[in-house]
């Protein structure tokens, strides 16, 4: 399975934008890039996913590099409720559609 690399932790100030990076240099052409976040003692929550083009939804934006070897999850205005562990995951289209979770990035938001 293609792997992802994320920083262990990041800090942000409330109401400022946050850019969470993810490297996936061995990504294959059919791998979708998924982002999930997990608050303490809760199940992960789907955030966004994409294949090649940048994607926007009500929660965040996903910027995908042209060579697809990296991506960035963008939270436009961080709130205290955005403090969570963010997982960047590659989902193979033809491999049972399973998600393989890595360690993720723990985002801390300071008031």
Partner 1 sequence: DGGITQSPKYLFRKEGQNVTLSCEQNLNHDAMYWYRQDPGQGLRLIYYSQIVNDFQKGDIAEGYSVSREKKESFPLTVTSAQKNPTAFYLCASSITATGGYTFGSGTRLTVV
Pair of tokens at residue 70: 């990296």
Pair of tokens at residue 111: 């008031």
Query: Phi, psi (5° rounding) for residue 27?
Result: -60, 140
Nearest distance from C-beta of residue 36 to partner 1, angstroms = 7
Nearest distance from C-beta of residue 6 to partner 1, angstroms = 10
Pair of tokens at residue 28: 């294959």
Residue 93 lies near partner 1 (rule: CB under 8 A): yes
Terminal Cα distance for the chain, rounded: 38
Q: Please identify which residue in the block is written with the tokens 């491999």.
A: 95
Stretch that binds partner 1, among 18-26, 58-66, 69-77, 85-93 (CB under 8 A): 85-93
Report the C-alpha gap between 7 and 82 in whole angstroms: 17
Report the C-alpha gap between 13 and 28 in whole angstroms: 35
Which 24-63 residues touch partner 1, going by CB under 8 A?
Answer: 32, 34, 36, 41-46, 49, 51
Nearest distance from C-beta of residue 34 to partner 1, angstroms = 7
Residue 73 lies near partner 1 (rule: CB under 8 A): no
Pair of tokens at residue 43: 């199940």
Residue 101 lies near partner 1 (rule: CB under 8 A): yes
Question: How many residues of this chain bind partner 1 (CB under 8 A)?
Answer: 23
Where along the sequence are the contacts to partner 1 (CB under 8 A)? 32, 34, 36, 41-46, 49, 51, 87, 91, 93, 96-104
């Amino acid at each position: 399975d293609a792997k992802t690399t994320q920083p262990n932790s990041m800090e942000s100030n409330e109401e400022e934008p946050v850019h969470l990076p993810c490297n996936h240099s061995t990504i294959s052409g059919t791998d979708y890039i998924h982002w999930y976040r997990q608050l303490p003692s809760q199940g992960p929550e789907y955030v966004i996913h994409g294949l090649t083009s940048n994607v926007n939804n009500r929660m965040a934006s996903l910027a995908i590099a042209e060579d697809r070897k990296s991506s960035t999850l963008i939270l436009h205005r961080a709130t205290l409720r955005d403090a969570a562990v963010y997982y960047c995951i590659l989902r193979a289209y033809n491999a049972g559609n399973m998600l393989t979770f890595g360690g993720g990035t723990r985002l801390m938001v300071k008031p």
